[in-house]
Structure formats: C-alpha cells, structure tokens
Chain A
Amino acid sequence: MIRPIPALGAVLAGSLVGLYLLPLAALVLSVTGGDISRAVAHPALAPALALSLRTSAVAMAATVAAGLPLALYLARSRGRVARLLLALLDLPIVLPPAVVGVALLAAFGRGGWLGAWLSSLGIHVPFTALAVVLAQVVVASPFFVKAAVSAIRSVPNDLVDVARTLGASRTAAAVQIVLPLAAGGLATGLGLAWARALGEFGATLIFAGNLPGTTQTLPLAIYTVLEGDLSLAIAFSLAAALTAVVLLALVRAGAAPWTRRAA
C-alpha cells in the first residue's frame, strides 16, 4: 500500500479547500455597498427570492411526504424492484438538468404523455409555479431519498421487530422507532435536497420557463441580470448563497434534538 506523503496530502487538501473558499471570497469581496443597495432595490430580487423559498418549501414538503415511505420501502426490501428503483434514483442526479427539463416537457408538456391528458382537463403544467416545483422535486428529491435509505438501514431490524411485538403497527414502528433514530441522516439528506432545489436552474428554465413572479426563481433571476449587469448578478448570488446557508442551518438545528436523543 502506498502511503500518502503528509506534506503532499496537506497541499492537495488545502487546494481543495481553497477551491471552495476562493470563489466565495471573491463573490463577497467584489460586492460593494452600492451593488447591494441596487440589488435590494431591483424589482426582480424580492419576487425571485420569495418564489424560490415558496417553491422549494413545497418541493421539500412533497419530497419528505413521498420520499419517506419510498425510502422505508427501499431500505427494507431486498427485491429486484427495490434494487432497480435505487439505481434509477441516480439518474436525476447524474443527468444534465437540461435533459431533465426536456424529459419533463416530454411527459407533462402539451404534447407529452400525461400533458395531453392534463390539457384535456384544462390543466397546463409548463410555465407555471407547479412546473418549478416538479422540476425541483425531480432533481432534488433523490438526494433526500438516498440519504434516508442509508439512514434507515443503519437502524437495526431488531428494534422494529420488538416494537411490532409490543403492539406497534408497521407505520407506528416506522414513525416512533425508525424515523427518530434516522433523524440525523434524514436532516442531512433534506438539507442537501433543499440546497439542490434552491440552486435548480437548467430543468426549471426549460420546463417552467423564466417569467418574473411566476417561474423566475433566484438562479433564473441571476442568469437574467447577468446578461446585462455582472455586479448586480453577484449581489443577487450573494443573496442566494445566504439563503441556502440559513436554510441549511435551520434544517440542521431542527434535527439536532432528535440526533442528540438517538446518540
């Protein structure tokens, strides 16, 4: 086995950290007070931020509500279907978001499989806030489900078995035993998924479009102002980064009491 040279390791690790911090520092340092006040006053910022928060919150609620039962199934089942589904979960993660956007159009667009039927009911998904939410769920929820599966798998089966003999139904055992013990991993997964949803750009642009107040999320707003004014875009980006950091911290703090109890 080759032992890494400590000094070389430190240099490599340090350069990775530098790669994380440098653009962030450049972002923060290149913003002037004037840029910030211009960004705050810009008519696109507040609606975009509000839309991003609203759509990502709905997307995360849907992700947790549907992702938890899915993760419980995937974590406990060793069947062929479960293994296939687990492999499929990687697809939205590895596919370019633009491809996801095109795929969503193919499914929910006017001429799409479901879209044609939805249109006949008078429901049009593309270019609505619902499309934004759908795009976010598709690209972000796999991060949550995958984290949830491994967190749930780390809870010993015995505990569920005992809970069942003590009168707990399958659901009660999942809610009272498995989920509290998996809370730390679930929170990490939710934080990852939320950050991914907030940053969603490609699939949203193609599937939901770019209309201020309706489908223009913060990343789309950044891209739109970037076309004319880079320093303004940087100030917008700072707002986006700040939002993500605050949300991640909130998710972690929310899960802290659970993780401490389970430890």
Chain B
Amino acid sequence: MVACSGQPDASRSVTVFAAASLTRVLPALALAFARTHTDVRIDPVFAGSQILRMQIEHGAPADVFLSAHARHVEDLAAAGRTTRQGPFATNELVIAVPADAPIADLDDLAFGATIVMGTEAVPVGMAARTFLARLEATEDRGLAEALRRAVVSYEPDVRLVAAKVARKEVDAGFVYATNVAADPHLRALPLPDHLRVPTVLHAAIVAGPGAPRPDAASFFDFLLSDEAAEVLADYGFGPPPPP
C-alpha cells in the first residue's frame, strides 16, 4: 500500500516512543503524516509511558515521546530532556467489562467480582486511582473499598488490562474509552458525570545528542494539526484542552 510511493530513505525516520493506549491510532497517524511527508518513516515503539520515560532517561534513541500522562513529559522537560512539549489529545478512563457479561453498573462489581488495573506508575493506573479516590470522597466509601479489594492484578500497561477483560479472565478492568471503542469484546459501564476521569496525552520532542531533527519537529507539528485531530477522533480520542 504505502510501498507504492517507493522505499523511503532509511535516514529519514522518526522514532516515536508511544504510550500503549496509542497502539492502534499511531499507525493511522503515520499513514496520514506520510501523505505530506512521503520520504519520512515513522518507527513506533509501544510500552507503558513510565517504561518509555525510563528508557529515554537512560538514553534510548527516541525522537518523539507520546505519553498518556503529563507527569512523565513534565519530569523529562524539567531534566532538560525535551525541546518542545504539549498536549495533543484527550482520552477518558472507563470501567470495561466483557461485552456480553451480565454486569449493568458499578454496584454489580461490589460482590465477588475480579478487577484488574494498572500499576501506580502507568497512566491508566494513576487515572484509576484518581477515580477510586473520587468515588470514595463523593459517593460510596464502601463501594470504593470493595472495588479495591476486588483487584487481582496490577498490570504494567493498558493493553494487558484490556486483554484480560476481553478474554474474560476477569470481570472488569480500568482502561481508556479508546480501548473499548476499538474492541467489540468490550463494553464500558455507565458512570455518572462527576466520576468521569478525563486524561490528557502529551507529546514531546526528545532532546537528542546531535543536531535537532527537523523531521521530529514536523511530526510534532503534525500531531497538533486538524488532520491529526480527525484521525485521533476516528479512534475515539478527544481534542486537546484549550490552552
């Protein structure tokens, strides 16, 4: 498909370290980017944002870092490891259950259910903890406690959480709205507005050892374009918050 335009020059490539939640959308973004930059290849690397951040701290050759949480980008920026950064999309935490499971709402998870969520450091895990804290503060202390006790595993990235729910190994998992949109085996439980936890995805150009890479900057700019926003919207991501 892409190969019709000829083999891109191997030297013109942008290595993108991307949060696991971007696994599906990034190839589509790369395809859209290739329409205007036919000679630049996008090399994606997916993992939990916290793992990617640690690898960048130790000199991994990333040109662009796409994090599912502001913290990892901000910490890198504070350490002088980025040249530009900013939000480029939003997502939302949801509680996913298997599509055909007889679970109607949160209360159905209070007794004997099993739940998986992210670790403390992975963005989807941080969002889940925010949700539980909010549930505890505003609604039902007992329900929050029951959900915490129902957790059987803390996964290092959101794909593992989604896979375990989709395989029905557990009753529910804290994932992103985009995971549910992409997988017909998953369904999101309805949540009241005040319990919704939106998340903001941040992009950064990683400061490399050599000269600045113009292609990295092009891709960064592309991510903030209307064209990218359209692709992101197709995959369920929202626009970045107004500055």
> Residues of A with Cβ closer than 8 Å to B?
105, 109-111, 126-127, 205-206, 208-212, 214-216, 223-224, 226-228, 230
Contacts and interface: CB of A to CB of B under 8 A. Distances in A.
A227 B151 contact: no
Nearest to A106: B167
A105 to B, nearest CB: 6
A223 B47 CA distance: 13
Contacts of B54: 226-227, 230
Given A210-B155, A211-B153, A127 B121 contact: no
Contacts of A205: 155-156, 160
B215 to A, nearest CB: 29
Contacts of B160: 205-206
Contacts of B164: 209
A105 B154 contact: no
B156 A210 contact: yes
B168 A227 contact: no
A110 B166 CA distance: 12
Interface stretch (B37-45, B112-120, B174-182, B218-226): B112-120
Given A210-B155, A224-B121, A227-B50, 15 more contacts: A127-B114, A127-B169, A208-B153, A209-B152, A209-B155, A210-B153, A211-B152, A211-B153, A214-B152, A216-B154, A224-B119, A224-B154, A227-B51, A227-B120, A228-B120
B228 to A, nearest CB: 28
A206 B100 CA distance: 23
Contacts, number: 65
B122 interface: yes
B75 to A, nearest CB: 11
Nearest to A208: B153
Given A227-B48, A227-B51, A211 B154 contact: yes
A230 B119 CA distance: 15
Contacts of B152: 127, 209, 211, 214-215
B170 interface: yes
Contact of B169 (A126, A214, A216, A230): A126
B211 to A, nearest CB: 29
A210 B119 contact: yes
A107 B167 CA distance: 12
Contact of A227 (B114, B156, B167): B156
23 contacts: A105-B167, A105-B169, A109-B167, A109-B169, A111-B169, A126-B169, A205-B156, A205-B160, A208-B153, A209-B153, A209-B164, A211-B151, A211-B152, A211-B154, A214-B152, A216-B154, A224-B119, A224-B121, A227-B50, A227-B121, A228-B120, A230-B54, A230-B57
A216 B152 CA distance: 10
A223 B156 contact: yes
A86 B154 CA distance: 36
Given A227-B50, A227-B119, A228-B50, A127 B153 contact: yes
Contacts of B154: 209-212, 216, 224
